[in-house]
Amino acid sequence: MRTLSAVITSSTSFGHCFFHRFALRHSHKTLTSPLAPCFRRHFTPTMAAPEDSLRKALADKQSEVENQGNQVRSLKAGKAAKSEIDAAIEALNGLKLQKASIEKDLQATLSSADGSVNREVFRQAVSNTLERRLFYIKSFNIYGGVAGLYDYGPPGCAVKSNVLAFWRQHFVLEENMLEVDCPCVTPEVVLKASGHVDKFTDLMVKDEKTGTCYRADHLLKDFCNDKLQKDLNITAEKAKELKHVLAMLDDFSAEELGAKIKEYGIVSPDTKNPLSDPYPFNLMFQTSIGPSGLIPGYLRPETAQGIFVNFKDLYYYNGNKLPFAAAQIGQAFRNEISPRQGLLRVREFTLAEIEHFVDPEDKSHPKFSEVAELEFLMFPRELQMSGESAKAIRLDEAVAKGIVNNETLGYFIGRVYLFLTRLGIDKKRLRFRQHLANEMAHYAADCWDAEIESSYGWIECVGIADRSAYDLRAHSEKSGEALVAHEKFPEPREVEVLVISPVKKEIGLAFKGSQKNVVEALESMKEKEAFALKADLESKGEVDFYVCTLGKNVSIKKNMVKISKEKKKEHQRVFTPSVIEPSFGIGRIIYCLFEHSYYTRASKAGNEQLNVFAFPSTVAPIKCTVFPLVQNQKYEDIAKDISKSLTVAGISHKIDITGTSIGKRYARTDELGVPFAITVDTTSSVTIRERDSKDQIRVDVKEAASVVKEVTEGLRSWADVWATFPHHSSATADE
Amino acid sequence: MRTLSAVITSSTSFGHCFFHRFALRHSHKTLTSPLAPCFRRHFTPTMAAPEDSLRKALADKQSEVENQGNQVRSLKAGKAAKSEIDAAIEALNGLKLQKASIEKDLQATLSSADGSVNREVFRQAVSNTLERRLFYIKSFNIYGGVAGLYDYGPPGCAVKSNVLAFWRQHFVLEENMLEVDCPCVTPEVVLKASGHVDKFTDLMVKDEKTGTCYRADHLLKDFCNDKLQKDLNITAEKAKELKHVLAMLDDFSAEELGAKIKEYGIVSPDTKNPLSDPYPFNLMFQTSIGPSGLIPGYLRPETAQGIFVNFKDLYYYNGNKLPFAAAQIGQAFRNEISPRQGLLRVREFTLAEIEHFVDPEDKSHPKFSEVAELEFLMFPRELQMSGESAKAIRLDEAVAKGIVNNETLGYFIGRVYLFLTRLGIDKKRLRFRQHLANEMAHYAADCWDAEIESSYGWIECVGIADRSAYDLRAHSEKSGEALVAHEKFPEPREVEVLVISPVKKEIGLAFKGSQKNVVEALESMKEKEAFALKADLESKGEVDFYVCTLGKNVSIKKNMVKISKEKKKEHQRVFTPSVIEPSFGIGRIIYCLFEHSYYTRASKAGNEQLNVFAFPSTVAPIKCTVFPLVQNQKYEDIAKDISKSLTVAGISHKIDITGTSIGKRYARTDELGVPFAITVDTTSSVTIRERDSKDQIRVDVKEAASVVKEVTEGLRSWADVWATFPHHSSATADE
* pLDDT, tens digit (0-9, with 9 covering 90-100), for B201-243: 999 999 999 988 999 999 999 999 888 888 888 888 888 899 8
- Return the closest-CA partner of residue A235 out of A353, A349, A106, A342: A106
Nearest residue of chain B to residue A160 (CA atoms): B181
Position B249 scores a pLDDT of: 85
Are the Cβ atoms of A180 and B157 closer than 8 angstroms?
A: yes
Report which residue type is found at B673.
Answer: G
- Return the closest-CA partner of residue A573 out of A360, A280, A328, A258: A360
Position B646 scores a pLDDT of: 92
| CB-CB neighbors (< 8 A) of B140 in chain A | 186-187, 189-190, 309
Instruction: Give the tens place of pLDDT for each residue, A603-615.
Output: 888 888 999 999 9
pLDDT confidence band for A204 (50 / 70 / 90): very high
Position B595 scores a pLDDT of: 97
Are the Cβ atoms of A146 and B187 closer than 8 angstroms?
A: yes
- In chain B, what percentage of residues exceed pLDDT 70? 92
pLDDT confidence band for B379 (50 / 70 / 90): very high
Instruction: Give the tens place of pLDDT for each residue, B525-541.
Output: 888 889 999 999 999 98
Nearest residue of chain A to residue B191 (CA atoms): A140
Q: Which residue of B132, B185, B328 is the best one to mutate when testing the A interface, meaning the one whose CB has the most A CBs within 10 A?
A: B185
Torsion sign, CA atoms A227, A231, A234, A237: positive
pLDDT confidence band for A550 (50 / 70 / 90): confident
Residue A716, min C-alpha distance to chain B (Å)? 14
CB atoms within 10 A of CB A32: 21
Go through A200-225 and write b for each residue having 16 or more CB atoms within 10 A of its CB, e for each that does not.
bbbbbbbbeeeebbbbbbbbbbebbb
Is A695 in a helix, a strand, or coil?
coil
**Nearest 5°: CA angle at A73, between A68 and A75?**
95
pLDDT greater at residue A24 or residue A245: A245
Q: List for chain A the helix, strand, coil content (%; round to 5).
A: 45, 25, 30
Position B45 scores a pLDDT of: 32
pLDDT confidence band for A193 (50 / 70 / 90): very high
By the CB < 8 Å criterion, does B463 face chain A?
no
Average pLDDT along chain B: 88
Instruction: Give the tens place of pLDDT for each residue, A159-185.
Output: 999 999 999 999 998 889 999 999 999
Is A180 in a helix, a strand, or coil?
coil
Nearest residue of chain A to residue B279 (CA atoms): A291
Distance CA B476, CA B311 (A): 10
Are the Cβ atoms of A173 and B143 closer than 8 angstroms?
A: no
Are the Cβ atoms of A153 and B475 closer than 8 angstroms?
A: no
Q: Which residue of B132, B133, B141, B143 is the best one to mutate when testing the A interface, meaning the one whose CB has the most A CBs within 10 A?
A: B143
pLDDT confidence band for A104 (50 / 70 / 90): confident
pTM higher than 0.80: yes
pLDDT at B124 over 90: yes
By the CB < 8 Å criterion, does B406 face chain A?
no
Position B639 scores a pLDDT of: 94
Average pLDDT along chain A: 88
pLDDT at A472 over 60: yes
Distance CA B552, CA A568 (A): 102
Position A5 scores a pLDDT of: 34
Distance CA A566, CA B513 (A): 107
Pairing of strands B391-394, B375-379: antiparallel
Burial of A152 (0-12, 13-18, 19+ CB in 10 A): buried
pLDDT greater at residue A353 or residue A270: A353
CA distances from B454 to A735, B364, B548, B601 (A): 59, 34, 56, 20
Residue B536, min C-alpha distance to chain A (Å)? 46
Position B730 scores a pLDDT of: 62
Nearest residue of chain A to residue B143 (CA atoms): A479
Query: Considering all CA atoms of chain B, what is the largest pairwise distance in Å, rounded to the nearest integer?
Result: 114
| CB-CB neighbors (< 8 A) of A213 in chain B | 290-292
Position A230 scores a pLDDT of: 82
Instruction: Give the tens place of pLDDT for each residue, A383-408.
Output: 998 888 999 999 999 999 999 999 99
pLDDT at A227 over 70: yes
Overall average pLDDT of the B423-433 stretch: 97
Are the Cβ atoms of B313 and A153 closer than 8 angstroms?
A: yes
Overall average pLDDT of the B622-645 stretch: 92
By the CB < 8 Å criterion, does B347 face chain A?
yes
By the CB < 8 Å criterion, does A456 face chain B?
no
Torsion sign, CA atoms A700, A704, A710, A711: positive
By the CB < 8 Å criterion, does B543 face chain A?
no
- Return the closest-CA partner of residue B145 out of B347, B306, B356, B310: B347
Instruction: Give the tens place of pLDDT for each residue, B245-273.
Output: 888 888 888 999 999 999 999 999 989 99
Cis preceding linkage at A280, omega within 30: no
Instruction: Give the tens place of pLDDT for each residue, A19-28.
Output: 555 443 333 3
Instruction: Give the tens place of pLDDT for each residue, B668-683.
Output: 999 999 999 999 999 9
Of B143, B291, B483, the CB nearest to A190: B143
Q: Which residue of A133, A140, A177, A623 is the best one to mutate when testing the B interface, meaning the one whose CB has the most B CBs within 10 A?
A: A140
| CB-CB neighbors (< 8 A) of B335 in chain A | 289-291
Selected residues 208-227 of chain A with any CB under 8 Å from a CB in chain B? 211-213
Residue B144, min C-alpha distance to chain A (Å)? 9
Of A158, A185, A319, the CB nearest to B179: A158
Position A648 scores a pLDDT of: 84
Distance CA A355, CA A18 (A): 16
Position A730 scores a pLDDT of: 62
Selected residues 468-507 of chain A with any CB under 8 Å from a CB in chain B? 475, 478-479, 481, 483
pLDDT greater at residue A47 or residue A695: A695
Of A314-323, A482-491, B13-22, the least confident: B13-22
φ and ψ at A443, to 5 degrees?
-85, -15
Is B12 in a helix, a strand, or coil?
coil
Are the Cβ atoms of B286 and A287 closer than 8 angstroms?
A: yes
Residue B210, min C-alpha distance to chain A (Å)? 11
Position B19 scores a pLDDT of: 52
Distance CA B408, CA B534 (A): 44
User: Is residue B148 within 8 Å of residue B336, measured between CB atoms?
Assistant: yes
CB atoms within 10 A of CB B380: 19
Cis preceding linkage at B323, omega within 30: yes
Of A46-50, A611-615, B445-449, B693-697, the least confident: A46-50
Nearest residue of chain A to residue B475 (CA atoms): A142
Residue B590, min C-alpha distance to chain A (Å)? 14
Query: Does ipTM come in above 0.90?
Result: no
By the CB < 8 Å criterion, does A299 face chain B?
yes
pLDDT at B37 over 60: no
By the CB < 8 Å criterion, does A317 face chain B?
yes
Position A446 scores a pLDDT of: 94
Of A483-487, A580-584, B24-28, B83-87, the least confident: B24-28
Are the Cβ atoms of B150 and A183 closer than 8 angstroms?
A: yes
- In chain B, what percentage of residues exceed pLDDT 90? 67
DSSP code of residue B153: -
**H or E segment and range at residue A129:** helix A116-132
Position A548 scores a pLDDT of: 83
Instruction: Give the tens place of pLDDT for each residue, B148-181.
Output: 999 999 999 999 999 999 999 999 998 899 999 9
C-alpha torsion angle, residues B467, B469, B472, B473 (rounded to 10):
-130
B215: which residues sit within 8 A by CB, 6+ positions away? B202, B203, B204, B337, B338
Are the Cβ atoms of A173 and B652 closer than 8 angstroms?
A: yes
Overall average pLDDT of the A654-665 stretch: 86
Of A521-530, A615-624, B352-361, the least confident: A521-530
**Nearest 5°: CA angle at A346, between A344 and A348?**
130
Instruction: Give the tens place of pLDDT for each residue, B275-325.
Output: 999 999 999 999 999 988 889 999 999 999 999 999 999 999 999 999 999
User: Is residue A228 within 8 Å of residue A329, measured between CB atoms?
Assistant: no
By the CB < 8 Å criterion, does B181 face chain A?
yes
Overall average pLDDT of the A474-499 stretch: 92
Are the Cβ atoms of B178 and A286 closer than 8 angstroms?
A: no
C-alpha torsion angle, residues B418, B422, B425, B428 (rounded to 10):
60
What is A334-385 written as a DSSP string? ---SS--TGGGS-SEEEEEEEEEEE-TT----TTGGGTTT-EEEEE-HHHHH
Position B9 scores a pLDDT of: 28
Nearest residue of chain A to residue B339 (CA atoms): A290
